[in-house]
Chains A and B, each alone.
Chain A
């Protein structure tokens, strides 16, 4: 298997094709995102960022071209199979309107975990509380979205996107309604997760400061992708503070321990095989080890 996590081959997106209102939102995008990359996509309004992210996230299908995720060509997959991929591998933060309004913040974060069928409700809730702690919303856990500010809603959405520990996290203007401090804290979180667990992040943003968190920046203009970033952005090296880093790690140690518990339960209740159990356990232990080393530093 190649290291390519996501591969877009000559992807075009034409809205309202064949009508006078035809819009060429994407014009032949070729993109390879490797596992563990952290990329930012920048571009002016209407340049096709959301369209691109939706296609990467299997929410939308390209008019032409192929979409390959984790080595699988998903371009012609059925809705049911795509739902499965989204549930298992992808975490989404949308530009606007992210939450289920009839459920509380906690329930919103819990839901994706329940959908996988891997967690008991209690396990999922505990993990959700930890994630809400990471985005500093633990005290708001039982609030409904309409009782939260725009930025708080955005942070709940980020916690939800991380819920299933997805291989890919796709964020569309995640810091759009956040102040600089909160925004940078969220980006620190993403950076740490990316560095420690190798989760792949693709972040769409207008904000050059946010883009600095990424290791690679793509620029999109009028539906075409450009790789040539300005020199000054490349020079910037971004580091979260040690305190921030350690706090995130501590919470993640708890999350991973819980992950182990869920795994054990699934083994004893016969939901997974012995081999699967050992494989996943190995991975979690590796992650734990990585974190421990990180904290010692």
Chain B
């Protein structure tokens, strides 16, 4: 009990020392705070990105496996009856998904050819803004507002679409509706048209670029993919998990890089704590002498200076977390504004706690060397110090 009160005094000593040197304490705290802020901001942003990407994947792929060819429009639609017979498959439909060039300026856009009845399934969040949907065999298309803006067209106008494919020529289509495609990555602009029209445009009747195969539950996805690989060894089979895994791997690398940048700023912060504690020890040498004269042990003196290192870095950690969170919001809102990306930082309490622990640990480790030096000064030298 009383041993504890000695350490309470150590903390009191440290706290009073800090408050009597506000500027120095403030700067040291800021040093730690910047490092922690960088870490917290980076972690929150990358976590946000990861979540965003996962959302994107589930938006587009959901409970689906896609089967596609190497390039272009080369999957025969005639495969569908055979695919429907595979265990667990509830639906399968063809789509043509290609990049195309639009208008006289040859603007790039993503072209989607799809049967009207599958439109809702492929783009569950799609919303019709103006006009109407296309009829099944009409030479009519739906486009996203950004593309309409870029091309300067409205409902009723026609646009020229070049298929970017050998053996196919460009063709004019009428814009019948403006849609919000409901995808997070809609910046490039989408053109949606009947599948038959797309097949005609690419001069590939009876073919699609991929077949979207829906299953009843998540655990059926992988067996289905395996079965498809056996049936169609030539084809590319894409499972959502697989993509997610790949993206996660990339994100891990990004994360590690950012973390190492953050750690460099923490090393700088550690040096500043070290310097501050060394200064405190130098100022307090005579008091170390007095403490030793009244019988304080090395450990007691160590406790005083480590308390100060801890307090500085712990407060630095708290401030850093606050700055980091604010910074993450500023950066992401900047990204939204200037790059059209949609991103919300994700605040993970574990990351915040880690930040606080890292800050405190960095401070205490950095403070140890000067504190140890102070604790080992011989009493008489300490008393005589000027």
Q: Is the interface of B mostly helix, strand, loop or mixed?
A: helix
Interface presence of A171 (CB below 8 A) = no
Q: Which residues of B contact A79 (CB under 8 A)?
A: 292, 298, 378-379
The contact of B2 among A84, A87, A101, A117, by CB within 8 Å, is: A117
Q: How far is the CB of A115 from chain B (nearest CB, A)?
A: 5
The contact of A121 among B5, B20, B287, by CB within 8 Å, is: B5
Considering the complex, which residues of chain B in the window 266-310 have a beta carbon less than 8 Å from any beta carbon of chain A?
A: 286-287, 289-298, 300
Q: How far is the CA of A98 from the CA of B383 in the complex (A)?
A: 9
Binds B, one of A41-49, A54-62, A223-231: A54-62
Q: How far is the CA of A54 from the CA of B290 in the complex (A)?
A: 12
Nearest residue, chain A, Cβ from B296: A115
Q: Is the CB of A87 within 8 A of B295?
A: yes
Q: How far is the CA of A51 from the CA of B3 in the complex (A)?
A: 32
The contact of B290 among A83, A99, A107, by CB within 8 Å, is: A99
Interface presence of A92 (CB below 8 A) = yes
Q: How far is the CB of A75 from chain B (nearest CB, A)?
A: 15
Residues A94 and B293 in contact in the complex (CB < 8 Å), given A100-B287, A102-B20? yes
Q: How far is the CA of A80 from the CA of B291 in the complex (A)?
A: 13
The contact of A115 among B1, B298, B300, by CB within 8 Å, is: B300
Binary flags per residue of A75-119, CB closer than 8 Å to B gives 1, else 0:
000011001111110101010011111110001001110111111
Interface presence of A124 (CB below 8 A) = yes
Binary flags per residue of B8-29, CB closer than 8 Å to A gives 1, else 0:
1100110011001000000000
Q: How far is the CB of A191 from chain B (nearest CB, A)?
A: 23
Interface presence of B6 (CB below 8 A) = yes
Interface presence of B380 (CB below 8 A) = yes
Q: Is the CB of B298 within 8 A of A121?
A: no
Q: Which residues of A contact B5 (CB under 8 A)?
A: 114, 120-121, 124
Q: Is the CB of A83 within 8 A of B292?
A: yes
Q: How far is the CA of A59 from the CA of B382 in the complex (A)?
A: 10
Q: Is the CB of A97 within 8 A of B2?
A: no
Q: How far is the CA of A115 from the CA of B292 in the complex (A)?
A: 11
Q: How far is the CB of A92 from chain B (nearest CB, A)?
A: 5
Q: Is the CB of B295 within 8 A of A121?
A: no
Chain B residues near A (Cβ < 8 Å): 1-3, 5-6, 8-9, 12-13, 16-17, 20, 286-287, 289-298, 300, 378-380, 383
Complex A-B: 13 CB contacts under 8 Å? A59-B293, A60-B379, A83-B292, A87-B294, A94-B383, A99-B290, A100-B290, A102-B17, A103-B9, A111-B291, A115-B295, A115-B300, A116-B2
